[in-house]
């Protein structure tokens, strides 16, 4: 076997050149077995994969122009801190407080920051409650229903904006509970903004058993972090 040189440290190696992704953007690379070189190559592959993903998969929900230039300094704490530092670590996030405080701006800033950091790992779907209703009504009774639900359950990051503004039918209640239940079980982060407290959310459920189970998950410290915006 011909000897080559590791692309990271320059040491001789008998490794076979490998194109990890099979992409024309990524030439075959020889890497030795030094852990630092393996880590460096993995990071290089990740960056290229992210760039290719970003070019070939436009966002389903691009940032609204009105919210594209958010100035964090104009938002009340803890919103600036959340927008600039929060990371999805298997938990969700509930941002709650009165209206016109910047909760939606924070959520969009957070979605864009995380996506820019790692487009593939932080793929997201951003839905207002109106958007969610439209998707459910449009897909109900058709072959696309399962497809819509599967996408919402499996997307790495799901943003639900203005929880409490939806028409709380029995079907909507079941869908909301199923979404949160499935996503928390699989440690996929759901980011929720709402003007309502837990008790106010519970009042909107006709089936109190479902409502209690839903609200309990939002209050569970093992499943969600919570950030309240002061009046």
Q: Tokens standing for 96? A: 């709650």
SS (H, E, C) 148-175: HHHHHHHCCEEEEEEECCCCCCHHHHHH
* CATH numbers and ranges of domains, the chain: 4-56 (no CATH), 65-229 (3.40.50.300)
Nearest to 19 by CA among 35, 7, 30: 30
What are the tens digits of pLDDT across the range 19-74?
544 544 445 567 787 888 888 887 777 777 777 777 777 777 888 999 989 999 99
Looking at residue 202, its pLDDT comes to 96
Other Cβ atoms within 10 Å of 121 Cβ, number: 15
Question: pLDDT band at 91, cuts 50/70/90?
Answer: very high
Whole-structure pTM value: 0.81
Write the pLDDT tens digit of every residue in 106-156. 999 999 999 999 998 999 999 999 999 888 877 777 778 888 899 999 999
């Amino acid at each position: 076997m011909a000897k080559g040189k590791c692309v990271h440290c320059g040491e001789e190696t008998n490794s076979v050149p490998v194109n990890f992704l099979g992409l024309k953007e990524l030439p075959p690379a020889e890497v030795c077995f030094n852990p630092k070189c393996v880590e460096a190559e993995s990071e290089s592959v990740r960056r290229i994969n992210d760039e290719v993903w970003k070019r070939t998969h436009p966002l389903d929900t691009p940032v609204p122009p009105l919210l594209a230039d958010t100035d964090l300094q104009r938002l009340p704490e803890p919103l600036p801190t959340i927008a600039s530092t929060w990371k999805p670590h298997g938990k969700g996030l509930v941002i709650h407080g009165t209206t016109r405080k910047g909760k939606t701006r924070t959520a969009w800033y957070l979605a864009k920051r995380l996506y820019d950091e790692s487009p593939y790992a932080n793929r997201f779907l951003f839905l207002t409650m109106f958007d969610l209703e439209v998707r459910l009504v449009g897909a109900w009774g058709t072959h696309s229903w399962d497809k819509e639900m599967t996408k919402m359950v499996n997307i790495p990051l799901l943003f639900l904006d203005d929880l409490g503004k939806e028409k709380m039918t029995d079907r909507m209640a079941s869908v909301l509970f199923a979404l949160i239940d499935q996503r928390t079980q699989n440690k996929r982060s759901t980011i929720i903004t709402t003007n309502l407290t837990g008790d106010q959310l519970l009042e909107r459920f006709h089936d109190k058993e479902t409502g209690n189970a839903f609200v309990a998950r939002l209050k569970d410290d093992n499943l969600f972090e919570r950030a309240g915006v002061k009046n």
